[in-house]
Amino acid sequence: MQHASFLVLSALAASGPAHGYGIVRIVEQLTGGRQGLALGTVYGVLDRLLSEGAVEVAFETVESGRLRRSYRVTRSGREALAGEVRRLEAHARLGRRVLGPSFREQV
Amino acid sequence: MRRQLIRWVVLLYPTSYRATRGDEILAGLLDAADDASRLRFLTHVRSVALHALAVRGRLATGGDRRETLRQGLVLAGVAVLGIKTGTEVGTLAWPWAFTVALLLTGLAILLVSRRWWQHVAGAVLMVVAAHEWPATGHVLPGVGEISLELLGLAAMLIAAGRGRSSPLRILAGISASWVLLAGFDPVGPTFMFSMEMGVASLGLLIGVGDARVAAATGFGIALYGIQQVARPDRWLTQFPGPLGLYAIVAACALALTFRRFQGEAPTRP
């Protein structure tokens, strides 16, 4: 899974339905501002996740004359996210084991 | 100023995509305009512009043939008018050679990303089209040099649609380009340099993320290098070496950016 896809799915899983720029803001909040997504990246990722069935359109609203199309994670999207988390955890475990005590010293 | 910029960026999307997603993207950009710093806003605008081009590329290689041709012509038109004639509007005219070159470009883009033999035919036509562009140079100064951008553009389209292509197919495309290149008499230094850049960028763009294709590309470039040694009178002494290197690096950067928006390369947020 691409890093941007992971962040978008995480944002939607954490906050519930959100629109494009809302996802950008949620990612910034979730990561404490350490990571950010550009808007075009979010729309590109949404295109792909929509085609894969990982997200779906939750609802549309119009606020101040602006169309808000909000997206939510589907069941398969959650499964994909969970699978990615398991994969990352396995990598982290491997990294800790390989680095051993030096890792704990660095931390 | 920000709102005007937003309107222009949204217009970069193909009509069909704009009809379904345009309002949403416009709203997102307006949110960014209200909320983000100037620098951050420009980052969002740039990313959306790249996404628009990625959508165009995807439609051009994945849609039906009419749509493909239409998108190819739009992209070629944007490239011609936007890149090359910006400072030479006074000389703008519409000679027949320009039309021929444009049609050849569209046809080449139409053919690439189809079946194996069509891909080779597309590569051949790209070379022919690149050969035609410099012929317009005496009428439209600057436009004749479009072959450089044309090949890069075509390579981007191929990269967008094909993902990881068969090394054999890429090798065939590159070899066909080279054979044609060797067969043509150079019409000028622009053409020769464009071909160097085009052949290299074509393979490199497609080869990003695939070592086998990169190896095939290296073979293609090596073939070109052999020609360079064999016929140094053609162009070897006319261009500084770093220029080609910069062009290739720029092409790689473009490819990575473009594929990132296609979700095919790691994204570094």
Residue that the structure tokens 């080869």 belong to: B207
CA-based nearest distance B48→chain A, Å:
4
The string of pLDDT tens digits covering residues A7-32 is 999 999 999 999 999 999 999 999 88
Give residue B107's pLDDT.
56
Tell me the pairing of strands A55-63 and A66-73. Answer: antiparallel
Strand partners, A72: A56
The string of pLDDT tens digits covering residues B140-189 is 444 444 444 455 445 444 444 444 444 444 444 444 444 444 444 344 43
User: Stretch B53-76: mean pLDDT, rounded?
Assistant: 56
CA B19 to chain centre: 25
CB atoms within 10 A of CB B111: 22
| Per-position b or e across B158-182, b if 16+ CB within 10 A of its CB | bbbbbeebebebbbbbbbbbbebbe
Tell me the ipTM for this assembly. Answer: 0.86
Whole-angstrom Cα distance, residue B191 to residue B147? 7
Query: Considering only CB atoms, which chain B residues are within 8 Å of A40?
Result: 44, 46-52, 261
Taking 3-state DSSP, the helix, strand and coil percentages for chain A, each rounded to the nearest 5, stand at 65, 15, 20
Query: Considering only CB atoms, which chain B residues are within 8 Å of A37?
Result: 269
Give residue A26's pLDDT.
93
Residue of A7, A20, A36 with shortest CB distance to B28: A20
User: Does B27 sit within 8 Å of A19, measured CB to CB?
Assistant: yes
Whole-angstrom Cα distance, residue B232 to residue B227? 8
Strand partners, A67: A62
Find out whether A20 and B24 touch, Cβ atoms under 8 Å: yes
Give residue B123's pLDDT.
53
Closest CA to B133 of B208, B193, B70, B89: B193
